[in-house]
Amino acid sequence: MVTSVLGQQARPVSPFLAADLGGTHARVGLVVPDAVTGKPDIVLYKVYRCAEHASLVDILGSFCREHRVQPDALVLACAGFLEHGVVINESLAWPVLLDSLCSEGGFATVDVLNDFEAFAHAVGHFDEASSTAIVDGVANPHGAVAVIGPGTGLGAALWLPGRPPRVLHTEAGHMELAARPGIEQTIRAQLGPIDGYVPYDRVLSGPGLLRLYRALAAVQGVPATLTEPGEITAMALAGMDTLATQTVDQFCRWLGAFCGDVAIAFNASGGVCLAGGFLARITNVLRSGPFTERFLDKGVMRSFLNNTPVFVVEHGQLGVLGAANWRLGH
């Protein structure tokens, strides 16, 4: 997403709002730059369900009224792309108009960046307490870190070390799904035309998990009785539904293949960070085999990937924190 700035841009020294907007939730924080380090400190924070509000302006207004604050600057991390002052994302419950954020929300300055670009800007805040190792390895301290996360869609960004570090937003989630001969090709045929384009994000996302479940049901000629991604993961983790278990296993295989491809393409020797609450619920499955098997199965690049750590981070406030980091760095 191209960053857009409305109003006059200045290095912020006063409190400002940082928000992380997804298809399901909006996370909002009031950020105060630390007087000594200049790093962001989230002093107020709340998570909202998008479906319960009429617009982003409504959510931000609720936050400001509840906490009796009215900062004049907003930085917004959001999936999608910006076109003529409108955030384009089919997963959002309503359009996001930058003009409305200024005229109705009362913000003099609005900055917008991609949600996974924001996550990548929070790389320096990842720690062992909030992360779980999936593939052990020794991170190159001077290497790039890939940040990947299936949520409403499939986000991917790259953190590049330096002084200062840089972040590269990518659209890697739209790379074509690499299905291997056999059952994977049969499943893929259920996901789109056999000679047509099927991107990774069609399966590596919350909605994609449901598509994958239904595709497997069609291949096996059995009814698809579950209707929500959360039901699929819950039944798989409980060992109560064979089809759900097969779905989650195949999801992990394709996620491993995708992460391996991204790590190779961008030389992510600093590691691969998997972000998102959805993945935090299936860490044991990710560690159990299918993910690692496909992550490492890259021919001559196996030794490189064997040294590339992969870890899951419960993102929580990271989108808000990363967006705040971005603004303070600009």
Residue 13 pLDDT grade (very low, low, confident, very high; cuts 50, 70, 90): low
Q: Which of 115-129, 172-186, 281-295 has the lowest mean pLDDT?
A: 115-129
Q: Phi-psi category of 302—alpha, beta or left, where left has phi over 0 and alpha has psi -120 to 50?
A: alpha
pLDDT 10s digits, 293-320: 999 999 999 999 999 999 998 767 889 9
For the stretch 188-210, what's the b/e string if a residue is b when 16 or more beta carbons lie within 10 angstroms of its beta carbon? Answer: bebbeeeeeebbbbbbbbbbbbb
CATH level 3 topology of 5-121+318-328: Nucleotidyltransferase; domain 5 (3.30.420)
From CA 100, how far away is CA 97, in angstroms rounded? 5
Rounded to two decimals, the pTM is 0.84
93-111: per-residue pLDDT in tens?
888 999 999 999 999 999 9
Please state which of the four CATH numbers 3.40.367.20, 3.30.930.10, 3.40.30.10, 1.10.10.10 is assigned to the domain occupying 137-308.
3.40.367.20
Query: pLDDT category, 5, cuts 50, 70, 90?
Result: very low
> Which pLDDT belongs to residue 236?
95
pLDDT reported for residue 35: 81
Mean of the pLDDT values across residues 136-151?
92
pLDDT at 250 > cutoff 90: yes
- Asked if the domains at 5-121+318-328 and 137-308 fall in one CATH topology, the answer is no
Least confident of 6-20, 225-239, 245-259: 6-20
Distance CA 324, CA 43 (A): 12
Q: Domain map of the chain by residue range? A: 5-121+318-328, 137-308
